[in-house]
Structure 1
Amino acid sequence: MKTGFVTIFGRPNAGKSTLMNALMGEKLAIVSPKVQTTRHRIRGILTTDDYQIILSDTPGIIDPKYKLQEKMMMAVKSAMEDSDVALLLFDVNEDLEEANTIFEALKLKVPAIVVINKLDKASKERKEEVYAYFGSKAYCKELVGISALKGMQLDDLLKGILKYLPEGAPFFDGEEMTDLPTRFFVAEMIREKIFYLYKEEIPYHTTVIITEFKEKSTLTKIVADIIVQRETQKVILLGEGGKMIKQLGTQSRVDIEAFIGRKVFLELFVKVRPKWRDNEFMLKEYGYY
């Protein structure tokens, strides 16, 4: 049996979370059109009779500007340390040199597959240019072209991964899909809706903490705090007459109910914690280790 850890690396918005979800056949990582949606290392466990692949989605690689982003980059570094195979994900229409600089800086000690994403959105000439460019790089063991969003050529990618995975006993029970608790995914679903519903600034100044998660006979009661940095951000999150927070709650509840398979009573509170993104104690409290 082939068993091992496979990590997806890449720039923000390359499609890492979309690829993770496509390979898993389940939505584990939140996605949005905005960059830097993923803040944590998220593991998905893909098990068959022949293999167990422990997939890790990681935050987009950036030059950190504050402590929260430093924690995000630490999640990338920790993923590098226990990977058996690296997937270097590249958006086919992005800058080749910038991506190459990031990939070379990783200094990987494990086999790397360069995965060219969004292949359906590129001309034949562009595809040839990208393949020739990465095909000449020392870190590139193999090249695979896909469309994560459309599920194109994922079988080819899986075959490439299995080629480099070691043989061994599985690390997790075959029924497990992730090693993260349900509360984590509930908080992420609320945060995903914030990315979609609010303007550019708000999602990056916000985090979500689940303060209560109680299974009752007919439903699950969930209480969440939405943390922001300033009073003005709280006003925007609430909206006039509480209109926006109600919309956020309604849309989040639909996704959470689908995820846990039960009726949900969801309560949201907005709390102001000045400069939480640069406060070591608060970051630990909010789960950014």
Structure 2
Amino acid sequence: MSAPLLDIQNLVTEFPRRGWRNPPVQVLKGINLDVRPGETVGLVGESGSGKTTIGRAVLGLAPVTEGAVIFDGKDISHLKAAARRTVSKDIQVVFQDPYTSLNPAMTIADILSEPLVVQGMSGAKARARVSNLLDRVQLPADAAARLPREFSGGQRQRVAIARALAMEPKLIVCDEPVSALDLSTQARVLDLFLEIQEQTGVAYLFISHDLAVVRHLSHRVCVLYHGEVVEFGDAGQVTDDPSHPYTRRLLMSSPIADPVRQRHRREERRALAAAGTPNAQPEKDPHLA
């Protein structure tokens, strides 16, 4: 078994409250998870569970109060700005909103070539690379001369994916990358993620509130509840036969087309909610047993 590309060890993240007497709020409470080369780990939980904070800690955008974030064998928990810029070549991100994450005043060619030029690539090579990136995310060559507002939401997200791929990263943090898209566009973008991973071997930390989405492309799934890992294991096992009541509640919240089965699912979810969610007890990853 290969060594983890990303290894998050006992991660604790705290944010200050207003008022100097108030203790800080602890958002993450000892998170342990890993992502192997070429693997997709789905990170799922409701709003406020801490999943986005994990992604931001990996990107250096949220504090690491305790524990460590190890990437490619190096501790990147507390890097200075210059060192973080070096690491950013290998760790990229795709955000939830494909429009606000793209500069509306720049053409697609400028958006995609900017990180390449910053890293020292010549203009001619950058333009050739942009053409290759647009082809990889299945956008026409003439897209390079257009502005983000001229594209649909799904097309803008393809541009965001192309930008993340520009530096040929080893890991992409995907923060709810399809939640703002309609269902048919979601399916196409998810298939694009799978195709790109097959072609490049890039690893994904895929953050979502939807178990059905993470089941589509994840190898393993990590479930968060109130800043703690309650279940972590093979995607098929976690999404088809979850062991934790909270994971079962998440599964029951996904709608299905059959009205009779949907009613039974809704009743089961109410029963699970009435029973309450036990205190989070991290499940051991069977791959690490």
Give the number of the structure with larger relative contact order, counting CA–CA contacts within 8 Å between residues 6 or more apart: 2
Indicate whether the TM-score tops 0.5.
no
TM-score if structure 1 supplies the norm length?
A: 0.29
TM-score when scaled to structure 2?
0.29
